[in-house]
Amino acid sequence: MNMVQSIERGIEILRLLEEGPLGVTELANATALPKTTVHRLLKTFEAHHWVEFNRDKKYQLSWGVLPMAKSFLTSLDVRAIAQPYMVAIRDQLQQSVNLFLAQGDYRICIERVAADKPLRNDIKIGTVYPIFKGAAGKIFGAYLGDLKDTDMSASESSQIRHDGYVVTRGNRVPDAASIAVPIFSFGNKLEAVMTISGPIGDYTEERVNEYLSVMMTLGQTISKQMGATL
């Protein structure tokens, strides 16, 4: 087996171990490799603390893989990842697209791609709002908030987490409507909230269904690029 083949086989074994601990025989069967080859590769990984032999006499991923993952995860920038998608969604739906991060008791708009439909009290990059107000605030409240600090009931919070979106009409601005979806990162932690917003007349039942389909797909796409496993 040459060097390239060894690397490919090793990667295959590590990917199998992502799903949980496995024994040498199980790995050999899954990869169609001889047990001696699997054992040799595992011993090499073990020497670098990439895998370890557990009490059930199976191999599992170990702490040595974390520095590589950390280097990748710290390079992730939700704004940089989301921005091209936000432009595409603005052009497709003709709605303004906004990205919010939680900062203590507030949420801040860190990116905005505006549609040519001005609204009263329009959002700007850097604008700060109470964290649990508006469509984005309901997402933050459902995933991060203590219910006593929000204006939501336990059932509403649970429903938002189940549905994975919020639709509001006239909630913060009387003549505007909005749809919000969560963006998750590594460990399926809530990282940000993305919204679209526009004139309330645009948010008919038919259009809302169209907007939701696009937004939920977008939220999942960005979340996966941020390291979430949805």
Residue-wise pLDDT for 37-46, tens only, equals: 999 999 999 9
Per-residue pLDDT at 63 exceeds 60: yes
Residues 85, 163 within the same domain: yes
Contacts 24+ apart (CB under 8 A), 69-73: 69/186, 72/227, 73/185, 73/186, 73/227
Residue 107 confidence (pLDDT) above 60 = yes
The reply to whether 112 and 155 lie within a common domain is yes
191 is a domain residue: yes
Residue 57, classified by CB atoms within 10 Å of its CB into exposed (0-12), middle (13-18) or buried (19+), is: exposed
> What pLDDT digit, counting tens, does each position of 134-173 carry?
899 999 999 886 766 777 788 888 999 999 999 998 877 7
Domain end marker among 72, 93, 117: 72
Q: Are 51 and 45 in contact (CB under 8 A)?
A: yes
Final residue of a structural domain among 19, 42, 72: 72
In tens, the pLDDT along 187-215 reads 899 999 999 999 999 999 999 999 999 99
Maximal C-alpha separation, the chain: 70
Q: Are 88 and 180 in a shared domain?
A: yes
Domain boundary among 72, 99, 124: 72
Closest CA to 110 of 86, 146, 134, 88: 86
pLDDT at 120: 57
Total number of domains in the chain: 2
Structure-token pair, residue 93: 């739906």
Beta-carbon contacts of residue 5 (< 8 Å; ≥ 6 apart): none
Tell me what pLDDT residue 34 has.
92
Q: What is the mean pLDDT of the chain?
A: 88
204 with 125, same domain: the answer is: yes
Q: What is the CATH classification number for the domain harbouring 84?
A: 3.30.450.40
Tell me whether residue 111 is in a domain. yes
Note whether 105 and 13 are same-domain residues. Answer: no
Q: What is the mean pLDDT of residues 2-26?
A: 88
Tell whether 230 is covered by a domain. no
Say what the pLDDT of residue 119 is.
65
CA-based nearest residue to 198, from 96, 108, 101: 96
Inform me whether the pLDDT recorded for 75 exceeds 70.
Answer: no
pLDDT band at 106 (very low <50, low <70, confident <90, very high): confident
Range of the domain at 43: 3-72
pLDDT of res. 5: 81
